[in-house]
Chain A
Amino acid sequence: MTVRSLKQGVSVARGKQAPEYQETVAVLEMAREDMGRLGIAPGGRVRVRSLHGEIVVACREADLPGGLFCLAMGPVANRLVDPDTGGSGMPAFKSTAVSVEPCTGE
């Protein structure tokens, strides 16, 4: 699921090439139980795959239900997003199925 954040909004005004924006849009949020189940330490990196792309990002614990993963809307999350709009014009920004696994050495 892609989401908005205040930090992301402020960093956009300072430029999307700037490190602040790049870092803001490349952090995956997930539930504590999912991090435990997958053996991911806070700040650890994860590989996230969908049918449409793959990314490697840092991971942060958040108050979310199990099985729901959030990334700030932006170029990193969009590599995963299913572009099928079902005839609506709206892609699956909040409902793209992904797999997540710990990633070491990258």
Chain B
Amino acid sequence: MRGVVVGDVVCTFCGSLCDDLEVELEGGSIRGVRRACAVGRAKFLAARDTASPSINGQPASPEAALEEAARLLLRAGYPLIYGLSTIPAEAQKEAIALAELLGANIDSTSSHCHGPSTMARQQTGLPTCSLGEAKNRADLVVFWGSNPAESSPRHFVRYSVGARGLLTPQGRKDRTVVVVDVRPTATARLADEFLQIAPGQDYEALTVLRALVKGVAVEGRHPAGVPVERWARLAELMKKCRYGAVFFGMGLTMSRGREANLELLLTLVKELNAYTRFHALPMRGHGNVAGSENVLAWQTGFPFGVNFSAGYPRFNPGEFTAVDLLARGEVDACLVIGADPAAHLPGTCVRHLASIPVIVIDPHPNLTASLARVTIPVAPAGVAAAGTFYRMDNVPLRAKKLVDLGLPSDEEVLRRLRERIARAEDRQRSHY
């Protein structure tokens, strides 16, 4: 590397928040990135000054774009603020304040990611640990319905499979790795044991495992499509390990059973603590999706799917969650920040989104921007703006500002939008 090298850089691409990157800066731009995975490197190198703000597809000044965004939100009867998962905690706080001011719905991508896990956690609690504890202590690692080899590529070397820790000095040799999945994923290929279960039968599998851990006989030779002897072996591995960690993912939250699958998994982990130390950790995707739940919870008491239309926060998954609000055609305006619903929500939701005023605040011209009335480019957080991000184990880390792209931060744009709306509402009140 030839330019100025900045060390201990946090990558905000995924929930692993790898904080050991080195970034080379030269002439105010990023010239190189060390230690990042392929996705993280692409994210850093793609950061650039993007197009100007726009209104109805035409370039506009930042002030005009904010004014139009405020007008559209003030005019709406039942707006939705959606996304939050790639923006810092400071900006998430601003988004919540804006939702409260407008009496709006506010939801993050969490509701269609680990929302069911969080619902289960509300029922059962979450016996969990930090990624550092898992790295230093876990001698049994189970990936259930998660595929970090594709989604969080450095998770293995930093926290789970190959990481060398205090009580795991030989890394991979000190661990047994088990994968439970419906298909032989890239993660499964690295496992000591791979249990390929039948699609949609996680609940049955977890029921069998709980029974076997307790020494209860199980009926049937192939529960959930796997020989019962292999389930019995996994139950023994779980009871006899020194310290177990199960990293669970979308294979459980998105499959038949949803939150019920997670209630059972977390109950199993609680029960395993009668025999050994065992913890569960959600494999979280977006860089600050964990932060969205933390900030919403300490601001409103609820982790996602919050509605302010009654003047106080209410929580009801299925009613105030983004997919439901859009699929039923209930919301009449949407502010999107830190997400791309046109790419990642069901087509039914996208069709409604295309029929209502949409405001997009994002560093990149994503698919949702192509159907938006107003777009406001912002500095990519962790590259051209600083802020707090929550790792998938809920440990907050400070992401740095590395370069100046001359763009405002997410927090700044949201604050200015909120102030503008507050002033307009004050004017309206004084008018009456």
Chain A residues close to B by CB (< 8 Å): 1-6, 9-10, 12-17, 52-53, 62-65, 68, 70, 73-75, 78-95
On whether the beta carbons of B151 and A89 are closer than 8 Å, the reply is no
Residues from chain A with a CB closer than 8 A to the CB of B226 are none
Please give the number of chain B residues whose Cβ is less than 8 angstroms from any Cβ of chain A in the complex.
Answer: 58
Majority SS at the chain A contact face:
loop
Q: B324 — nearest CB in chain A belongs to which residue?
A: A85
On whether the beta carbons of A5 and B150 are closer than 8 Å, the reply is yes
On whether the beta carbons of B115 and A10 are closer than 8 Å, the reply is no
On whether the beta carbons of A95 and B256 are closer than 8 Å, the reply is yes
On whether the beta carbons of B111 and A89 are closer than 8 Å, the reply is yes
Taking the closest CB of chain A, its distance from the CB of B372, in whole angstroms, is 14
Taking the closest CB of chain A, its distance from the CB of B87, in whole angstroms, is 17
Of the residues A53, A89, A91, contact of B305 by C-beta under 8 Å: A89
Residues from chain B with a CB closer than 8 A to the CB of A17 are 365, 367
On whether the beta carbons of B364 and A88 are closer than 8 Å, the reply is no
On whether the beta carbons of A4 and B321 are closer than 8 Å, the reply is no
On whether the beta carbons of A89 and B324 are closer than 8 Å, the reply is yes
User: With A9-B39, A63-B184 as given contacts, are A89 and B318 in contact (CB-CB < 8 Å)?
Assistant: yes
Bound CA–CA A4/B147 (angstroms)? 8
Taking the closest CB of chain A, its distance from the CB of B108, in whole angstroms, is 10
Taking the closest CB of chain A, its distance from the CB of B306, in whole angstroms, is 12
Instruction: State whether the Cβ of B212 lies closer than 8 Å to any Cβ in chain A.
Output: no
Residues from chain B with a CB closer than 8 A to the CB of A89 are 107, 111-112, 115-116, 304-305, 317-318, 321-324
Q: Which of B17-25, B247-255, B403-411 contacts A (4 or more CB under 8 A)?
A: B247-255
Chain B residues close to A by CB (< 8 Å): 13, 38-39, 42-43, 45-46, 107, 111-112, 115-116, 119, 147, 149-151, 153, 182-184, 186, 196, 198-200, 250-251, 253-256, 258-259, 285, 304-305, 317-318, 321-324, 327, 340, 342-350, 364-367
Residues from chain A with a CB closer than 8 A to the CB of B255 are 94-95
Of the residues B111, B153, B346, contact of A78 by C-beta under 8 Å: B346
Of the residues B344, B347, B367, contact of A79 by C-beta under 8 Å: B347
> Which of A5, A6, A88, A91 neighbours the largest number of chain B CB atoms within 10 Å of its CB?
A88
Q: B370 — nearest CB in chain A belongs to which residue?
A: A17
Taking the closest CB of chain B, its distance from the CB of A15, in whole angstroms, is 7
Residues from chain B with a CB closer than 8 A to the CB of A10 are 38-39, 42
Residues from chain A with a CB closer than 8 A to the CB of B45 are 13
Q: B45 — nearest CB in chain A belongs to which residue?
A: A13
On whether the beta carbons of B340 and A83 are closer than 8 Å, the reply is no
Question: A65-B182, A68-B199 known; 5 other A-B pairs, CB under 8 Å?
Answer: A9-B39, A9-B150, A10-B39, A16-B366, A86-B318
On whether the beta carbons of A78 and B259 are closer than 8 Å, the reply is no
Q: A6 — nearest CB in chain B belongs to which residue?
A: B150
On whether the beta carbons of B46 and A88 are closer than 8 Å, the reply is no
On whether the beta carbons of B346 and A91 are closer than 8 Å, the reply is yes
User: With A16-B340, A83-B323, A90-B115 as given contacts, are A52 and B347 in contact (CB-CB < 8 Å)?
Assistant: yes
> Which of B186, B321, B343 neighbours the largest number of chain A CB atoms within 10 Å of its CB?
B343
User: With A6-B150, A16-B367, A83-B323 as given contacts, are A90 and B343 in contact (CB-CB < 8 Å)?
Assistant: no
On whether the beta carbons of B344 and A85 are closer than 8 Å, the reply is no
